[in-house]
Amino acid sequence: MEQYRRFDSVVNHIWLNSVSATKSEHLQEFAERVRALVAPYGSIAKAAKALEIPENTLRRACAGRNEPQAPLLMALSTKLDVSMSYLLGLSDDPAVASSPGAASGAELQLRRIPSLDACVAAGRGAAASAVAIDQMLAFPQWMLRKLAPPGARLSFMRAEGDSMQPLFNDGALLLVDESDATLRDAASKTDRAAEEGAIYAFEQAGALRVKRLRKTKSGDIVVISANPAYDPELLTGADAKRIKLLGRIVWWDNRL
């Protein structure tokens, strides 16, 4: 059950943040795909019995009232031989590999990512020191393909403080793409992340911090908190050049 809870947490975050659609649109797309998959059974009751899942769970999914949950996703994927990516709307191709067993293994393949013994301050800054690997955490490969490019250097850190609430809380688990440590130029209106400011872990004056950073046309850096109680900071000249980006935050979870 704990494994399912962790899987659900990861799935829901990816599902709601991977494409530019509202939660309602996500639910409707998921419902449409589930309805199409179970239609050959003739009724939801027959489909639920064949798939060995609660009928009410399937009815709610078909009606667009249930977010994807691990037991339902696993049943649909393994028994109907469709990919998790298709179920979650990350791909329009329902097909998996020719061998069902191989497909399940590939889809559920995990990558071990180092969790650093460090907190990045979602506040004024935590003292930086030599950072060691605390443990290795597993993360689904198929989700990583949506979050970061192949070969990306990834690590986990913890948030500390309240300045990024309600986006993420004190103690939130953050996935950092260390390969993406260059602040984008805000000049391009087509790059929403650059225009609004992507979230980075960075070192400033010996402190580790996590904030949304936006580079102005003049080369200054605006440091932005999600919590309105914290005013934006403007780093100019030498101060802007002295910060060291550790990587971009590509995923987080407040429950793990």
Nearest CA-CA partner of 210 in 219, 195, 198? 198
- In tens, the pLDDT along 130-180 reads 344 556 777 888 788 888 888 888 888 889 899 999 898 898 889 999 999
pLDDT of residue 214: 94
DSSP helix/strand/coil, 45: helix
What mean pLDDT comes out for the span 40-64?
Answer: 90
pLDDT of residue 184: 76
How much is the mean pLDDT over the chain? 77
pLDDT of residue 20: 42
pLDDT band at 225 (very low <50, low <70, confident <90, very high): very high
pLDDT of residue 2: 41
Q: Which residue ranges make up each domain of the chain? A: 2-106, 110-253
Distance CA 11, CA 13 (A): 6
pLDDT band at 22 (very low <50, low <70, confident <90, very high): low
CATH class, range 2-106: mainly alpha
pLDDT of residue 212: 94
For residue 223, the surrounding DSSP H or E stretch is strand 221-224
Distance CA 92, CA 85 (A): 8
Residue 203 tokens read as 């070192």
What mean pLDDT comes out for the span 114-142?
Answer: 63
- In tens, the pLDDT along 93-102 reads 776 544 444 4
pLDDT over 90 (residue 46): yes
- CATH for the stretch 110-253: 2.10.109.10
Q: What angle do CA 201, 202, 203 make, to 5 degrees?
A: 145
pLDDT of residue 111: 78
Q: What are the b/e assignments for 176-192, b being 16+ CB within 10 Å?
A: bbeebbebbebeeeeee
- Pairwise pLDDT comparison (28 vs 135), residue with the higher score: 28
